[in-house]
């Protein structure tokens, strides 16, 4: 009796998010012993898995907590801000990478204020139609380790870098997401807009996990095997818009365009190389 | 699935309406609000800065975003659940922001009360570094130079682009336009006294004309010890960095 309830709660609130970029909030300076916290709820419309042509709309909880000692929780990541300098941010990072079944990727929790990325949507118990993922290995949830290094290049432009390791059933997938973020200054009172663009670079193991068909999977399903190589997995661009209604409430919205490249884009699992993800959430700051 | 979507849409709509109600309430009093936490963040780098800063001070300065002109002579109040503090603003749009943990924890608001006919496009705040004025209104040029250096080093620590590869050229004593007793005299080693000229306005860093009285003292005038005496206390002593 308890098990399904527990499972649903976890799916809704924490879930495991697959393929997500890890997430780090913008640095926050505060009194010792204080924290800055956001909690929110919204909706997200995104592809079922990277490269899928069908999309889903689902609930998206948002969570972000920053403590004065530098430790933060942001969406599906947790880490620590170590830098003492205004120009550089860096530190270790842990991220939950959700599993994937033949229905696609599980739900996720989003970040509110900072560098972000997210995964796709899934309701495993309802979607059992045969699709390109049918018969492939189920990908287990993984805890990824890594770090971040962000450098302020000019007053409005920041270079962000997030590296993670440990995805895939063999725990050996690695990924680097490197972006340039441009903050539009003084767009309008209480509106903050950031434009970003960047690349995702992965190793062979990561690409094989999400875009490959192994020999065993090929024998099992009768499909042709597809062995990937590492390299640039995608190029992407996004627009982040935060609208603060008061010191306590804000609407955080994002649109992300991803274009698969290299070995990933040639995968038989990919129905379309371009993916669009849109989300909006109402958050409460306290 | 359909009812789930409907539920979400309705919840979001209701939340937005609730928030709108809050927003309209604030607007009807014609006030401008800003997040105290964001202002606190702007001020905190100065507090955390470990190098010498005893001769300089940090203020929060309000400017109109459109043209970066000072947004001066406003009533600013720090408001939260258990706090209501009036903060005085000088003629350069600056306030001394109190760094209060309680206000931070309560997610306080900085409220600027506008008069009914005031409608600025957008107001933002900046960090303003200036030299600490002396109670006896008497300064040594070497001390002023040291203070200017401290300000420059801090700006370079922040990585502010406009301060890269620059040097200290002098200081500007800024006085109220209503101050009729403005007088700045220099006294050098051989007891030679000079009165420095008073400008009725000056150009600030963004090229705007500021209609406040200003007296400039340049460090390159002489290398010997010079004493500077002001008759009245300046609003601010700004480092001139070129």
Q: What is the end-to-end Cα distance of chain B in Å, rounded?
A: 64
Rounded to whole angstroms, the Cα distance separating A202 from A166 reads: 12
What's residue A61's pLDDT? 92
Q: Which residue of B has its CA nearest to A123?
A: B1
Give A-chain residues touching B109 at CB under 8 angstroms: 246-247
Percent of chain A with pLDDT over 70: 87
Counting one residue from chain A and one from chain B, the pairs whose CB atoms sit within 8 A come to 79
Give residue ranges of A with CB < 8 Å to any B CB: 28-34, 36, 41-43, 57, 59, 84-87, 126, 152, 154-155, 186, 188-189, 244-249, 251, 282, 285-286
Rounded to whole angstroms, the Cα distance separating A145 from A158 reads: 23
| Interval A116-170: pLDDT, tens | 443 333 333 334 445 788 888 888 889 999 999 999 999 899 999 999 999 998 9
CA separation (Å) from A83 to A245, A257, B38, B64, B99?
Answer: 31, 31, 19, 32, 22
Order of all β-strands in the sheet with B109-113: B31-35, B109-113, B75-80, B83-87
Tell me whether residues B44 and A248 touch, CB distance under 8 A: no
Tell me whether residues A282 and B33 touch, CB distance under 8 A: no
Tell me whether residues A248 and B107 touch, CB distance under 8 A: yes
- What is the CB-side half-sphere exposure of residue B154 using CA atoms within 13 A? 28
Give A-chain residues touching B125 at CB under 8 angstroms: none
Percent of chain B with pLDDT over 70: 86
In this prediction the pTM is 0.85
Q: Under 8 Å CB-to-CB from B18, ≥6 apart: which residues?
A: none
Q: How confident is the model at residue B158 (pLDDT cuts 50, 70, 90)?
A: very high
| Interval B179-197: pLDDT, tens | 989 999 999 888 889 999 9
User: Strand pairing partners for A239?
Assistant: A195, A255
Tell me whether residues B8 and A285 touch, CB distance under 8 A: no
Q: How confident is the model at residue A30 (pLDDT cuts 50, 70, 90)?
A: very high
| Interval B38-65: pLDDT, tens | 999 999 999 999 999 999 999 999 998 8
For residues A105 and A123, the answer to whether their CB atoms sit within 8 Å is no
Mean pLDDT across chain A: 85
Rounded to whole angstroms, the Cα distance separating A151 from A121 reads: 32
Rounded to whole angstroms, the Cα distance separating A200 from A99 reads: 20
What's residue A252's pLDDT? 95
């Amino acid at each position: 009796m308890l098990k399904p309830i527990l499972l649903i709660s976890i799916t809704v609130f924490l879930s495991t998010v697959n393929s997500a970029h890890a997430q780090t909030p913008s640095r926050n300076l505060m009194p010792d012993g204080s924290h800055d916290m956001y909690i929110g709820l919204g909706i997200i419309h995104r592809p079922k898995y990277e490269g899928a042509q069908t999309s889903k709309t689902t609930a998206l909880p948002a969570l972000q907590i920053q403590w004065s000692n530098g430790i933060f929780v942001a969406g599906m990541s947790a880490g620590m801000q170590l830098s003492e300098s205004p120009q550089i941010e860096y530190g270790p990072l842990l991220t939950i990478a959700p599993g994937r079944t033949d229905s696609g990727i599980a739900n996720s929790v989003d970040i509110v204020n900072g560098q972000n990325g997210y995964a796709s949507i899934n309701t495993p118990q309802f979607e059992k139609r045969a699709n390109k993922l049918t018969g492939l290995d189920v990908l287990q949830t993984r805890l990824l380790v890594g770090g971040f290094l962000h450098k302020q290049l000019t007053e409005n432009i920041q270079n962000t870098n997030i590296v993670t390791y440990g995805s895939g059933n063999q725990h050996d997938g690695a990924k680097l997401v490197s972006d340039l973020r441009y903050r539009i200054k003084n767009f309008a009172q209480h509106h903050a807009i950031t434009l970003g663009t960047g690349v995702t670079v992965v190793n062979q193991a990561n690409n094989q996990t999400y875009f490959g068909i192994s020999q065993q999977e090929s024998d099992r399903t009768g499909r042709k095997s597809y062995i990937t190589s590492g390299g640039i997995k995608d190029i992407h661009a996004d627009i982040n818009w935060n609208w603060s209604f008061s010191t306590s409430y804000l609407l955080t919205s994002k649109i992300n365009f991803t274009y698969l490249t290299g070995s990933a884009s040639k995968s038989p699992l990919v129905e379309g190389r371009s993916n669009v993800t849109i989300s909006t959430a109402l958050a409460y700051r306290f | 699935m359909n009812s789930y979507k409907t539920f979400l849409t309705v919840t979001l709509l209701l939340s937005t309406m609730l928030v709108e109600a809050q927003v309209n309430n604030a607007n009807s009093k014609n006030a401008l609000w800003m997040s105290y936490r964001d202002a606190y963040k702007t001020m905190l780098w100065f507090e955390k800065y470990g190098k010498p800063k005893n001769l300089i001070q940090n203020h929060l300065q309000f400017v109109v975003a459109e043209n970066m002109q000072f947004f001066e002579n406003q009533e600013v109040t720090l408001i939260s659940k258990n706090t209501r503090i009036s903060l005085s603003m000088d003629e350069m749009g600056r306030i001394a922001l109190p760094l209060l943990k309680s206000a931070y924890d309560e997610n306080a608001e900085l409220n600027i009360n506008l008069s009914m006919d005031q409608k600025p496009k957008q107001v933002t705040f900046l960090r303003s570094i200036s030299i600490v004025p002396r109670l006896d209104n008497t300064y040594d040029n070497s001390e002023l130079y040291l203070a200017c250096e401290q300000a420059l080093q801090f700006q370079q620590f922040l990585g502010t682009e406009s301060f890269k590869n620059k040097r200290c050229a002098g200081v500007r004593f800024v006085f109220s336009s209503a101050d009729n007793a403005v007088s700045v005299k220099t006294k050098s080693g051989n007891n030679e006294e000079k009165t420095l000229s008073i400008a009725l306005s000056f150009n600030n860093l963004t090229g705007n004309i500021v209609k406040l009285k200003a007296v400039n003292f340049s460090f390159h005038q002489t290398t010997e010890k010079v004493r500077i005496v002001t008759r009245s206390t300046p609003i601010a002593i700004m480092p001139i960095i070129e």
